[in-house]
Chain A
C-alpha cells in the first residue's frame, strides 16, 4: 500500500523559512515522479512543484519560483520542499503527491493527507 506521510508544517512569520518532508513507502521510490500540491483554506488546488523519479527534471510554479525548492532523497525515500521568504498567501495545506510514472506526467495517482502551513505575524 502506497503511503505518503507529510511533516514539517506549522506557524511561521512572513519572510521566514520552513522545510516540508514527505516519507514515502509501499513502492519503489525512485521509479515515480513526485510533487507538492497546495490548497489555501476553503480554496482550490495549485500544483506547486514536481520532480522526476531520477531528479533530473523539476517544475516549479511561477508563484513560488525563486523561493521554493523541491528535492528528494532516494536513500531515505523522502521528498522535500524547502520554502523560503514565505508570504501570507503561501498559507495552505500542502499535499505530497505521487505521479503515476517515473517521468512527470501530471497524473496524480496518490495523495498524502497534507500538512498545514500558516504564514502569519
Chain B
C-alpha cells in the first residue's frame, strides 16, 4: 500500500495570502495524484487530477504540480471560501489511498 503524507497538518493564513500544501508518497505514483477539498459538513470535491489538471469548476487560483513522490497544491491568493481541509489521493494501483489531510485555517 502506498502511504501519502501531507504537510503541514494545519496551515493558518489570512485571506489574500498564498498557500502551499505538500503531499509526499512512499513510492512513485508518476503523475497519478489528485487533490480534494472538504468543507465542514460537506462531501469532498475534486479540485485537481493527475497532478496538475484542474477539474471542471476549479478556480484558476488553484494549481497543482509535482511528479514521482513529491506534489504541491498552491492557492495563489486565498479567498474566504478556500478555508477547508485538503486531501491528496493517488490512483496508481489499488488500494487508492488518501493522505491524512491539511487543514487550512483562517489566521
B31-57, CB < 8 A from A: 32, 34, 36, 42-46, 49-50, 55
Taking a contact as CB atoms under 8 Å apart, the answer to whether B43 and A47 are in contact is no
Task: Specify which of A95, A107, A109 is in contact with B43 (CB 8 Å cutoff).
Answer: A95
Contact in complex: B89, A45 (CB < 8 Å): yes
Q: Does B100 contact A (CB under 8 A)?
A: yes
**Quick one: given A45-B87, A45-B89, are A107 and B46 in contact (CB under 8 Å)?**
yes
| Cα of A61 to Cα of B98 in the assembled complex, Å | 13
Interface size bracket, B side: 20 to 34
Residue A113 at the chain B interface, CB threshold 8 Å: yes
Using A44-B87, A45-B87, A106-B91 as known contacts, say yes or no to A111 and B43 having CB atoms under 8 A apart: yes
B100: contacting residue among A44, A106, A107, CB under 8 A: A44
Interface 1/0s, chain B 61-101, versus A by CB < 8 A?
00000000000000000000000000101110011111111
Q: A45-B87, A105-B91, A106-B91 are in contact. Are A114 and B96 (CB under 8 A)?
A: no
Shortest beta-carbon distance, A33 to chain B, in Å? 12
Q: Are A107 and B49 in contact (CB under 8 A)?
A: yes
Contact of A59 among B1, B94, B99 (CB under 8 A): B94
A47 and B95 contact, CB distance less than 8 A? yes
In the complex the two chains form, what is the Cα distance from A94 to B50 in whole Å?
A: 25
Closest CB pairs A-B (n = 8)? A106-B91, A111-B43, A45-B98, A106-B96, A59-B94, A47-B96, A44-B100, A107-B49
